[in-house]
Amino acid sequence: MRNWVAVAIAGIAVAVIGVVIAVAWTGMGDSEISVAGWLAMGLGVIVTFGLGIGLMALVFVSNRRGYDEIGRRDG
């Protein structure tokens, strides 16, 4: 149960920070981003986040299956 609460709090924190950044960015005046720019930035964030999750999953799988142990070769 505590894991889900931590995930929810982290998700809310990320969303709030994203909204604050978006409001601050659009309130600067001369720095306008088109819809295509927002879409590209959003896709970049999603792809980067997915890549990070995938690489961390590979690290955990590799560690649990023993691929990271050096001196364990039979032969």
DSSP string, 20-56: HHHHHHHTTSS----HHHHHHHHHHHHHHHHHHHHHH
* Other Cβ atoms closer than 10 A to 33: 13
Domain ranges in the chain are 1-30, 33-68
The tens digit of pLDDT for each residue in 3-57 reads 899 999 999 999 999 999 888 887 777 767 889 998 999 999 999 999 999 999 9
pLDDT value, residue 73: 59
Specify the residue for token string 């691929």: 67
d(CA 59, CA 55): 6
Supply the pTM of this predicted model: 0.52
pLDDT value, residue 51: 96
